[in-house]
Structure 1
Amino acid sequence: MEETPLFPGESIKATVKDVMYICPFMGAVSGTLTVTDFKMYFKNVERDPNFVLDVPLGVISRVEKIGAQSHGDNSCGIEIVCKDMRNLRLAYKQEEQSKLGIFENLNKLAFPLSNGQTLFAFNYKEKFPMNGWKVYDPVSEYKRQGLPNESWKISKVNSNYELCDTYPAVIVVPTSVKDDDLSKVSAFRAKGRVPVLSWIHPESQATITRCSQPLVGPNDKRCKEDEKYLQTIMDANAQSHKLIIFDARQNSVADTNKMLLAGAVRIADKIESGKTSVVVHCSDGWDRTAQLTSLAMLMLDSYYRTIKGFEALIEKEWISFGHRFALRVGHGNDNHADADRSPIFLQFIDCVWQMTRQFPSAFEFNELFLITILDHLYSCLFGTFLCNCEQQRFKEMPIHQNLKELLAIKAELQKRVEDLQREVATRASSSSERGSSPSHSVTPVHTSV
């Protein structure tokens, strides 16, 4: 029988023969189940072509024991509910469960964070010709849009994530706004998420800015700095004396879902036809806001409809601006009923797919590209969608990613130092035995690594 294909860094944890997969289309299929630290791999070699079921553990939402009496008195079963809407059922002999602990293995490996382990992405050892962490450069993206200019500046006031810990280090704000005023505006906005520029029209200079809701409260609290800040955003667009504020806070989740594309069209129309700047916000500015701004930008800017541009759009509007991927997807967590879980990014991709169906020639990519993105939203094979914000991504992840490499390098250097010490000691001993000249000296070797 052929061996289970493995990624670099992937290892097999359990293999069970005579497992029955209850396929909804083909009925019961018998084969061998292999569980690794990345995937569940089921294969039947008796069929032509071979039947293979390859499921990344990250896509599993929950694992439950079920009865399997119809497949034998000594059988037991498992139902695997997946985040991509698949439900998988397996049946196997009771003695195999007792011997190998299939249910326990799946529960432990599918939810590593709940079991004190790390996600597979930290153990993945594949070498790629391109550094994926450098696909998106914020300064280059803003320069592509013609920024900075006389009205907008590229600011690093948040370089240490002190202004807003869920915002990127590089943001674009009005040129005339001082850092002190920006701090006051931040205090008036939920989670400190001040209005910052996402996109600027190359001709009219109308802008899309994004933020969180103002903390008005029951007493209609006001903030002069916040009002002045919004006035500055409006004044930056000389072609209009209006500023449209799109409030995406939801009264009904179902209604809001239906309004996504319609809302994005309205934003794009205000920018393109009305030459009017818009401010988009929801409650915290990382869910509905990201959906609306990115969809509107996709409609307005053909660059974002290329493969490279779409990657930059996701990196900018979703990842760097703090969409909470870890919480919304629930990576490695066994609490499938967590209220923080929500298919926000999936809804965005579905809207993009609908646009590609209506205007296929306007996009450089098709649904296969979108499906691949969604596959790895759940797979935990790469680090792209693992964190809740840029600060968490860049301050925590590289430490874990590089720790083993650094330790290996240190061990190698230490070994070289020890070899040099032995070599020097041998030479010194040989010189002493030969009665070397008093003027001859041995250069000391520094041993600190």
Structure 2
Amino acid sequence: MLRLSPPFGLLMCIGEIVVNEVNFVRKCIAVDSSREDLWGKLICTNFKVSFITHDTLQLQKFQYTNRLLGEHDIPLACVEQVVTVNDAKGKQKVLGSNQKLKFNPTELIIYCKDFRIVRFRFDEAGPESAKKVCLAVAHYSHPADPQLLFGFEFAWKRHHSSTVCKRDIEGGPQVPLFDRPSDWDREIKRTGASEWRVCSINEGYAISPSLPEYFVVPVSLADQDLKQYSGFFAGQRLPLWCWNHPNGSALVRMASIKDPVQQRKLDQRICTAITKSHPKRSDVLKSDLDKSLPNIQDIQTAFVRLRQICVIEPFEESEERWLSSMEGSRWLEYVRAFLKHAAEVVYMLEGQHASVILQEDEDRDLSCVISSLVLIMLDPHYRSLVGFQGLVQREWVMAGHRFLDRCNHLKKNDKEESPLFLLLLDCVWQLLNQYPTAFEFTETYLTVLSDSMWIPIFSTFLFNCPRQRAEHCREFVQSKNSVREFNMLRFPCVWDWDQQFSRKDQALFNSPLYVGKGTSCIHNGTVKTFRRTKVSMHF
């Protein structure tokens, strides 16, 4: 998968090429001193920004080594902002794609999405070479089209590599991808959801462009009825089954109903079908997430402020003021809000034995977070490593979370950007710290999973829905004029951790405190303390 190519010391992936480079560059390590700075070569490829040095860095000690990235590498997808500085002229410019730079930079500052700020000095470097490498970083970190993301070239070259095995192409072992009916069937049997069935009416994405081809619906709802109802839901997104409690109550996700005339009738029809699936015909409660939780813009605003506090100005205030600023960002407030709401849904399912519908406008953002947290709290299977990965694959990737837009990989629409997946990981981290023996995975695992969002070779985080992935892959192959030879491009899946880490390093993902699946439920407090909220409606 990897090869050592010129320039010497640069670790390169399949399909990676050097775009530009400059020698005699100084990487700034300390804020107020140059004693610990490193000297070397700055290289821009079509995948990452690399710094090659022969100096040893004593201050940083990493527990693990990434097979795709060196110690000083920055994936281009992780670049948030590129800033060039000229000390003599007192000029500073934020660079975007295809922009001109009228001065020779003496410094390059790269602001990263993973909270890093990386600075390079060009005091001894050739001014024209420094300018070219800065422009290359700005250009290649702002791809104009999804197919210009490095993952497409990587997947194409990887497919034609004789060293890649079939299993390696199709994704990691054990983790169900929920792209076939058998994966859903196993989940139905595992949870005992006998009154639910796998539905295939969306094969070829014939009904909804953002739903998976296969999903689970009540047995009492016929395919013909579902086809008739689909046009009334936002995005043609029919209700999705998530999970069944041992007591028979079900968790369901549902988009909003656009037609107010049909709303009451459809609500009643869906709820009746869910009620029939319950052995005791228990109540169905609805939780309107749009009314009870912060929206994606609020979450993004809190995250931007959090990054400002933690990265740009961490030492500019006293500890008391810093903590006050942290509270003022509202990030932790939102983490608490999502955990609290998930716990309330847990009480409805377990304490009240009621089925619950999570309703959101298009059912692609807030519902992903809440459904995941509810299942993690209630089902120990999802606190295992394989179970958690299958949960993300099902409730996020296959359910059509807009990773391309929410991660803003193309840096085109800042209004669509929102760190919802990072919010989930923070919520899980909070639970992990409270219940360390209940989780098979560690904080290290959550960290590398978060970092993997910015490595643009995994289909897991590159697309808005399965259909978009299929369409872009087909178009890319057609552009290569190889339709007859190969009609579908296959990306690696992030769950195959051998792509990034050795088996020794992967051992750091497993918690030594884990006691197995003995802890059934991990939400805080006594269920009796929770009350039905105003956003929960009884049908």
Contact 1:40 1:55 in 2 (8 A): yes
What letter matches 2:273 in structure 1?
T
Matches within 5 A, 1:32-431: 32-47=41-56, 52-69=71-88, 76-93=106-123, 96-99=126-129, 101-113=132-144, 118-124=148-154, 125=157, 127=164, 130=168, 131-132=170-171, 135-138=175-178, 139-147=181-189, 151-201=195-245, 203-215=246-258, 222-250=263-291, 252=294, 253=298, 256-331=334-409, 333-335=410-412, 338-397=414-473, 400=476, 406=482
Aligned residues between the structures: 404
Q: State the secondary structure of the residue aligned to 1:239.
A: coil
Task: Report % sequence identity.
Answer: 26
Structure 2 SS opposite 1:384: helix
CA contact under 8 A between 1:17 and 1:33: conserved in structure 2?
yes
- 1:442 corresponds to: none
Q: 1:8 to 1:213 in 2, by over 3 A?
A: same
Q: TM-score, normalised by structure 2?
A: 0.68
- For residues 42-72 of structure 1, give each alpha carbon's deviation from its aligned partner in whole angstroms, at most 9, with x where no partner exists: 133234659852111110122122233499x
Q: Identify the residue that residue 447 of structure 1 maps to in structure 2.
A: none
Give, in angstroms, the shift of residue 38 of structure 1: 1.0
Distance in 2, matches of 1:31 and 1:282, equals 51
Counterpart Cα distance in 2 of 1:164 and 1:61? 33
Deviation at 1:222, TM superposition (A): 3.1
Structure 1 unaligned spans of 5+: 411-449
When residues 210 and 268 of structure 1 are mapped into structure 2, their CA distance, relative to the original with a 3 A threshold, is same
Does the aligned pair in 2 maintain the 1:75–1:94 contact within 8 Å? Answer: no
Shift of 1:8: 2.3
- Distance in 2, matches of 1:325 and 1:345, equals 9
Q: Is the 8 A contact 2:239 2:255 kept in 1?
A: yes
C-alpha change, 1:7 and 1:211, in structure 2 (3 Å) is: same
Q: Which amino acid aligns with 2:80?
A: S
1:14 aligns with one of 20, 39, 49: 20
Between the aligned partners of 1:4 and 1:50, the Cα distance in structure 2 is 22
**For residues 74 and 281 of structure 1, what CA distance do their matches in structure 2 show?**
54
Please tell me the residue identity of whatever aligns with 1:59. C
The one-character-per-residue Cα deviations of 1:219-243 (angstroms, maximum 9, x if unpaired) are: x763523421222112321335311
* d(CA) in 1 for partners of 2:338, 2:395: 16
Residue 215 of structure 1 aligns to a residue in which SS?
coil
Matches of 1:326 and 1:74, distance apart in 2: 34
SS in 2 for 1:232: helix
- TM-score normalized by the length of structure 1: 0.80
Q: Deviations over 1:5-54 (max 9, x none)?
A: 11222222222112222334574423321111111111332346598521
Any idea what the Cα deviations from partners look like across 1:336-361, whole Å, max 9, x if unmatched? Answer: x6200000111011111122212122
The AA in structure 1 aligned to 2:397 is I
CA shift in 2, pair 1:225/1:156, >3 Å: same
**Cα distance in 1 between the residues matched to 2:80 and 2:104:** 27
Contact conserved, 1:21 with 1:89, CA < 8 A, in 2?
Answer: yes
Distance in 1 between residues matched to 2:210 and 2:453, nearest whole Å: 20
Structure with larger Rg: 1
Structure of higher RCO (CA pairs closer than 8 Å, 6+ residues apart): 2
Structure 1 pair 323–212 and aligned structure 2 pair: CA distance change class (3 A): same
Map Cα deviations across residues 198-257 of structure 1 (whole Å, 9 max, x no partner). 1112x222111001122255xx76352342122211232133531111111046445655
Aligned partners of 1:242 and 1:276 also within 8 Å: yes
- The answer on whether the counterparts of 1:161 and 1:391 sit within 8 Å (CA) in structure 2 is yes
Q: For the structure 1 residues 112 and 342, does the alpha-carbon distance in structure 2 shift closer, same or farther, using more than 3 Å as the test?
A: same
Distance 1:163 1:223 in 2: 22
Could you say what secondary structure the match of 1:204 adopts?
A: coil
Distance of 1:213 and 1:186 partners within structure 2: 11
Structure 1 vs Structure 2 CA RMSD = 3.1
